[in-house]
């Protein structure tokens, strides 16, 4: 990698207690010219140290690890100044952990089996500050949620406080759209979209766009 590309590369730290998973992720991401894997960690304690040492743009974080787990690491790293985008890695035998990770500060989640070309694209999306939430992964998380019918009703009740425009924006978040994409679809400026989203998150009591996106799925706003 040249000096110029290194300066503009997306800096990534990989966290997983399985060496084969780390090797696979490193190989896939290193094949992209604009992504640099600057460090790896095999438990939550190492992840916290790596966040401080490498100052990555994105961290892909396994949730179940020995000693300090991924949930604890996400919570501590998310509280750091200029925290990286934290993306939970899952095999979906840990759906409850995924929801906890989002509450702890993760900006999204993806399957460990995500195809290489999709993985690279999702890391780029995360680095831009957007939600990382593939349709398949979202469908499986929502479908696996306990008390599905009750959750749907609760989600729809929460939408009662929103205006029609805010509901349109919420549906866009459910599709994982960026502010620019939402602005183009709804014929608004990006500044207006940002203001709408901020106000909507406050109304819904959502900590971030990812939680709002899941709410959109639970309420049936997405296909």
Which pLDDT score is estimated for 3?
44
Comparison of pLDDT for 12 and 132, the residue scoring more: 12
Distance, first Cα to last Cα, the chain: 41
Measured torsion, CA atoms of residues 184, 185, 186, 189, in degrees rounded to the nearest 10: -10
The Cβ-side half-sphere exposure at 145, using a 13 Å CA radius, reads: 22
Q: H-helix or E-strand containing 109? A: strand 108-111
Tokens of 81: 């100044």
Q: What angle do CA 77, 215, 79 make, to 5 degrees?
A: 15
Percent of the chain with pLDDT over 70: 85
Reported as a single tens digit per residue, the pLDDT across 19-46 is 999 999 999 999 998 999 999 999 999 9
Average pLDDT, the chain: 83
**Strands 132-133 and 35-41, bridge-based pairing:** unpaired
């Amino acid at each position: 990698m040249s000096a110029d590309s290194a300066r503009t590369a997306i800096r990534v730290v990989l966290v997983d207690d399985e060496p084969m998973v780390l090797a696979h992720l490193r190989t896939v991401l290193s094949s992209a010219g604009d992504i640099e894997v600057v460090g790896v960690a095999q438990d939550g304690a190492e992840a916290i140290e790596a966040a401080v040492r490498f100052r990555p743009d994105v961290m892909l974080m396994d949730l179940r690890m020995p000693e300090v787990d991924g949930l604890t690491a996400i919570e501590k790293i998310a509280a750091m100044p200029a925290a990286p985008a934290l993306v939970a890695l899952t095999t979906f035998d840990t759906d409850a952990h995924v929801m906890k990770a989002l509450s702890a500060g993760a900006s999204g989640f993806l399957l460990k089996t995500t195809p290489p070309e999709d993985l690279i694209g999702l890391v780029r999306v995360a680095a831009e500050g957007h939600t990382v939430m593939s349709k398949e992964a979202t469908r499986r998380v929502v479908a696996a949620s306990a008390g599905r019918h009750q959750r749907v009703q609760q989600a729809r009740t929460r939408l009662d406080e929103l205006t029609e425009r805010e509901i349109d924006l919420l549906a866009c978040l459910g599709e994982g759209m960026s502010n620019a994409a939402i602005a183009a679809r709804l014929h608004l400026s990006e500044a207006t979209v940002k203001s709408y989203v901020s106000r909507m998150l406050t109304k819904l009591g959502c900590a971030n766009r990812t939680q709002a996106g899941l709410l959109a799925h639970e309420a049936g706003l997405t296909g």
